[in-house]
Amino acid sequence: ASLWPGLVKALQHNLNRQQDRVRMFESGLRFVGQLDGLKQEPMLAGVVCGSRLPEGWAQGRDAVDFFDVKADVEAVLGFTGALGEFTFTPGQHPALHPGQTARILRGGREVGFLGAIHPELSKNLGLDRPVFVFELVLAEVATGRLPKFHELSRFPEVRRDLALLADRDVSASAVLDVIRENAGEWLTDLRLFDVYQGKGIDPHRKSLAVGLTWQHPSRTLNDDEVNATTLAILTSLEERLNATLRK
């Protein structure tokens, strides 16, 4: 059992009343069948569809996508103070789109799912637009951890942007994981800011643009250090994922 059916029913109710941009969540019990009977598990779930931003003269009407909803879920996970313990991996779920589904793990344990509703299910439900849902084990997000204070560094940040080519079936999260493992202790920010597939790119590959920022707490980093770290990152990406620098 899942909270999704009730959320989708509420979504349909709103869409039928010309509410084109819908964001809803709820908490409740999920019932899981086990050998010794049913297990009740408190869950947090949500449903999203419509435009990315509220209607306004200064913004477009681009539809929300998988990565928008993933960012929202990451924001929820961030309240635990332990966002780094959670990972997203490609997954499969009978109710979700086979190419837009992620398992949410914490320390290797499955604690949720995120994805687009399966096209066939959407058709049967009369949904004429992409609809995204997520579900999380409530106990994994209900407790927080106070962030540890770090004094702001007085020394400048160093930024490097990498344009990478990776096989289409390599997930962005796998690329980011390899980068983190090799970026060193002074990495302060890592973000994926563009994914491109199409003209000018091998049809079996995709382009990923990644920004890395380093900052040392007590001195200025020099170019030789950053270049050496960047080279280590690129070497590991090529060896482990066949991901190379785009030229």
49-95 pLDDT, tens per residue?
988 887 766 666 788 999 899 999 999 998 888 888 898 999 999 99
Q: Which of 131, 138, 128, 126 is closest to 115 using CA atoms?
A: 131
Distance between CA atoms of residues 7 and 15, nearest Å: 12
Residue 150 placed within a domain: no
Residue 104 placed within a domain: yes
Amino acid 219: pLDDT: 92
In this structure, the answer to whether residues 116 and 177 fall within a common structural domain is no
Find the range with the poorest average confidence among 21-30, 76-85, 152-161, 182-191. Answer: 76-85
- The count of structural domains within the chain is 2
Region 198-214: mean pLDDT is: 92
Amino acid 124: pLDDT: 93
Amino acid 172: pLDDT: 86
Tokens of 205: 């590959």
Tokens of 231: 């080279």
Distance between CA atoms of residues 244 and 167, nearest Å: 10
Distance between CA atoms of residues 128 and 126, nearest Å: 6
Read off the pLDDT of residues 107-151 as tens digits, 9 standing for 90 and up.
Answer: 889 999 999 999 999 999 989 889 999 999 999 888 777 666 667
Containing 178, the helix (H) or strand (E) segment is: helix 172-182
Amino acid 239: pLDDT: 95
Q: What mean pLDDT is reported for the chain?
A: 89
In this structure, the answer to whether residues 163 and 113 fall within a common structural domain is no
Query: What single-letter DSSP state applies at residue 63?
Result: B
In this structure, the answer to whether residues 183 and 238 fall within a common structural domain is yes
In this structure, the answer to whether residues 80 and 19 fall within a common structural domain is yes
* Domain boundary pick from 141, 166, 200: 141
Residue 152 placed within a domain: no
CATH number at residue 19: 3.30.930.10
Amino acid letter for position 172 = A
Amino acid 163: pLDDT: 94
CATH number at residue 191: 3.30.70.380
In this structure, the answer to whether residues 20 and 46 fall within a common structural domain is yes
Residue 151 placed within a domain: no
In this structure, the answer to whether residues 87 and 181 fall within a common structural domain is no
The side-by-side arrangement of strands in the sheet containing 131-137 is 22-34, 37-49, 131-137, 109-117, 96-106, 86-90
Residue 106 placed within a domain: yes
Neighbouring C-beta atoms of residue 142, cutoff 10 Å: 13
Question: Which pTM was predicted?
Answer: 0.65
Residue 183 placed within a domain: yes
Whole-number percent of the chain with pLDDT over 70: 94
Q: Which long-range contacts (CB under 8 A, 24 or more apart) does 151-156 make?
A: 151/217, 153/215, 153/216, 153/217, 153/218, 155/215, 155/216, 155/217, 155/218, 155/219, 155/220, 155/221, 156/215, 156/220
Can you spell out the DSSP letters for 108-143? Answer: TEEEEEEEEEPHHHHHHHT--S-EEEEEEEHHHHSS
Q: How would you classify residue 234: left for phi > 0, otherwise alpha for psi between -120 and 50, otherwise beta?
A: alpha
* Domain boundary pick from 116, 141, 166: 141
Neighbouring C-beta atoms of residue 86, cutoff 10 Å: 21
Neighbouring C-beta atoms of residue 194, cutoff 10 Å: 11
Amino acid 236: pLDDT: 96
In this structure, the answer to whether residues 134 and 226 fall within a common structural domain is no
Q: How confident is the model at residue 229 (pLDDT cuts 50, 70, 90)?
A: very high
* Residue numbers of the domain that contains 123: 4-141
In this structure, the answer to whether residues 35 and 76 fall within a common structural domain is yes
Residue 147 placed within a domain: no
In this structure, the answer to whether residues 210 and 115 fall within a common structural domain is no
* Domain boundary pick from 94, 113, 141: 141
Containing 176, the helix (H) or strand (E) segment is: helix 172-182
In this structure, the answer to whether residues 28 and 94 fall within a common structural domain is yes
Region 165-182: mean pLDDT is: 91
Amino acid 128: pLDDT: 87
Amino acid 171: pLDDT: 87
Distance between CA atoms of residues 29 and 40, nearest Å: 6
Whether 184 shows a pLDDT value over 80: the answer reads yes
